[in-house]
Amino acid sequence: MRSGILSLLVLAAVAAVPAGAQEVGNTQAFPAAAHIAGVPPSQWVSDVVVNNLNDYEIVVGFQFLPENQAHTILDLTFDDQITMAARETRLFEDVLATLLGHTEDIKGVLIVTCEPDFLPASGNPEDSIIIATMRTYDVSSPVGTYGQTIPATEEVDNSTGTPSYLTGARNDGQFRSNLGIVNLSLVETTIHYRIIRSDATVVVQGSKTMGSLSAGQWSFASLGVGTVEGPLTIDLWLDPSSVTPDPCESDWPNSFLAYVSKVDGDSQDGEFIYAAPGEFLPCMD
């Protein structure tokens, strides 16, 4: 079975679908949940919609992993739980504040699950499934909200040592971009990045060494990218020392995922783009 991000992050089996599509499974993970002030006057929050796809009542658990912190499997307690009726759909507005109690400036990874191994008192059947989606958006404008839909992740994690690729970022007079990386490894891991102009010249390159099961997001400006005309492409790859030897023989090979959040500076309208691995391990379906 292919070790996708959800099976790695929460040891749950999910249906493989193209990156960017909604997916059905017992667990959904979102790498950019937020309740945080951005470039003034923006204020970013995240809404989550969850549907119980089963013809019976289930318990759904929520877990938030703040960015720039290392985490372990023991952190996955899913203490915030709600009960959903058969085929019920529920909207959780500003989920980090209203459901999880984070009213301070914060962002990170949100995991939503009905997996009975993580909710042992729930009574959820083993084949319970949900579908969920998240929107992170700016509420500061009197005209309306502007933001980006963030689909749950699948087919976007990279454990091969070869690059992941992302194109369509911009950092110019109209748009600003942010680079996000999630380390899915159980150990400290180094991920390299290279941001490339449309003429194939490198704007900046560098690396981030990240703690286990941790996330980070950096503005292009903080990475040293100035105003650049035209679209930008980003290559990202695991440091050779961080690649798991014989990853197909490992229960949890080192891996990462990456994304870009691109924001229109005038309207605050956003676009969320996952980096796509250029290669999968031969043992992955």
Residue 176 lies in a domain: yes
CATH of the domain at 53: 2.60.290.11
Residue 154 lies in a domain: no
> Do residues 139 and 169 both lie within one domain?
no
CA distance 226 to 2: 39
Residue 158 lies in a domain: no
> Do residues 121 and 215 both lie within one domain?
no
- Taking 60 as the threshold, does the pLDDT of residue 12 lie above it? no
Q: Which of 86, 113, 143 is the last residue of a domain?
A: 143
Into how many domains does the chain fold?
Answer: 2
Residue 73 lies in a domain: yes
Residue 282 lies in a domain: no
Residue 10 lies in a domain: yes
Task: Check: CB of residue 111 under 8 Å from CB of residue 8.
Answer: no
> Do residues 63 and 169 both lie within one domain?
no
Residue 151 lies in a domain: no
Q: How far is CA 53 from each of CA 82, 189, 242, rounded to the nearest angstrom?
A: 15, 36, 38
Domain that includes residue 107, residue range: 5-143
For the entire predicted model, the pTM comes to 0.87
> 31-88, pLDDT tens digit by residue?
999 999 988 888 999 999 999 999 999 999 999 999 999 999 888 899 999 999 999 9
CA distance 102 to 65: 12
* Arithmetic mean of pLDDT, 150-170: 89
